[in-house]
Chains A and B, each alone.
Chain A
Amino acid sequence: MFQELDPILHSQLRLAIMSLLISVKEAEFTFIKEKTNATAGNLSVQVQKLKEVGYIEVIKEFKDNYPNTTCKITKQGIAAFEDYVKALQQYLQMGQK
């Protein structure tokens, strides 16, 4: 029986954000934007979606008098990411058979 791929993570940009955040402790919005080549508007919407489902934590603060957003993956996000990768492996194993 196939495990269904998490629709939240099975989207290019959201998966890219999660893959970046799983590798670091925390990253600023500008770093994620630079690495994913996404537009600020689109990235902002996807970050908000990931935050709403509890996969990431978004910290808004001021840095040198400018607003600054930092993102961090949550425990729930790590678990969801791991499940997603497991489901992917299942799909790929089936494809090889």
Chain B
Amino acid sequence: MDNNNPDFDPQQSLQLIESMINRAKDKFAEGGFMYLLWGWAVFFLSLTQFVLLHFFQYTYHYIVWMFCWVIVIYQLVHMRKKYRKQKVRTYTDYIIGYIWLTFVVLIFLLGFLIGRLTSGEYYTHIVPIVLALYGMPIFLTGIIMRFKPLIIGGIGCWLLCVITTFIINYDYQFLMIPLAMLIAWIIPGYLLRAKYKSQ
């Protein structure tokens, strides 16, 4: 590209601005890794919790979630590597990053608040509340990326959250979490991966 061109007129200026803005437009930088990692992890952990609770009546059934710390560490290493490879940071990356950060903060806050505010029977409320929360980052990410499977997944989580409140035997409420993982994280995760590879 030339630097100083005497024939560079206003019309060409506009065309250049338009073409450069188009070149910088977001490509799918996300290959679905995070959705598949967390989708499958939560899918198996929640099924394990259901088995421990329903078939073994194990008191400390929630202990399975401690495994999340291993995944968090693995993800942090992965994100660090990805960040170092990135040549450009778009506003989309930036906003989506903060949406997920807000979600993580809210999940931890929720764990703390439910334990503090509800006396003893917290486990009967936790699944619908967690499902309502799961829908938020998925839905917003779908809107920002203009990626329908994520939008549908987010709405799916909210529908499942309402359905869960009608399940009287709360053991079975835990089965709604793997179902939510399938529709909101795992299926959109594979579709994202396919889109990323085909671009």
Closest to B2 in A: A12
- Of the listed stretches B10-18, B68-76, B105-113, B128-136, chain A binds B10-18
Collect the chain B residues with CB atoms within 8 Å of residue A15's CB.
Answer: 13, 16-17, 20
Q: How many interface residues does A have (CB within 8 Å)?
A: 35
Q: Does A97 contact B (CB under 8 A)?
A: no
Q: Which of B73-107 contact A (CB under 8 A)?
A: 84, 87-91, 93-94
Closest approach, in angstroms, between the C-beta of B70 and any C-beta of chain A?
26
Contact of A19 with B21 at beta-carbon distance under 8 Å, contacts A13-B1, A36-B1 already known: yes
Q: Does A10 contact B (CB under 8 A)?
A: yes
Q: Are A92 and B16 in contact (CB under 8 A)?
A: no
Q: Are B88 and A19 in contact (CB under 8 A)?
A: no
Q: Are A10 and B8 in contact (CB under 8 A)?
A: yes
Collect the chain A residues with CB atoms within 8 Å of residue B23's CB.
Answer: 20, 35
Chain B at the A interface: mostly helix, strand, loop or mixed? helix
When the two chains form the complex, which single residue of A12, A26, A91 contacts B8, counting CB atoms closer than 8 Å?
Answer: A12
Closest approach, in angstroms, between the C-beta of B144 and any C-beta of chain A?
14
Q: How far is the CA of A42 from the CA of B8 in the complex (A)?
A: 18
Closest to B10 in A: A91
Q: Which of A1-17 contact B (CB under 8 A)?
A: 5, 10-16
Q: How far is the CA of A85 from the CA of B91 in the complex (A)?
A: 21
Q: Are B11 and A92 in contact (CB under 8 A)?
A: yes
Contact of A25 with B1 at beta-carbon distance under 8 Å, contacts A5-B10, A15-B17, A19-B16 already known: no
Q: Are A12 and B16 in contact (CB under 8 A)?
A: yes
Q: Does A24 contact B (CB under 8 A)?
A: yes
Closest to A19 in B: B20
Q: How far is the CA of A30 from the CA of B86 in the complex (A)?
A: 11
Q: How far is the CA of A26 from the CA of B3 in the complex (A)?
A: 22
Q: Are A28 and B20 in contact (CB under 8 A)?
A: no
Q: Are A31 and B88 in contact (CB under 8 A)?
A: yes
Q: Are A28 and B88 in contact (CB under 8 A)?
A: yes
Collect the chain B residues with CB atoms within 8 Å of residue A52's CB.
Answer: none
Q: Are A22 and B16 in contact (CB under 8 A)?
A: no
Q: Are B1 and A37 in contact (CB under 8 A)?
A: yes
Q: Which of B1-35 contact A (CB under 8 A)?
A: 1-5, 8, 10-11, 13-14, 16-17, 20-21, 23-25
Q: A residues near B, CB below 8 A?
A: 5, 10-16, 19-20, 22-28, 30-31, 34-38, 42, 45-46, 63-64, 84-85, 88, 91-92, 95
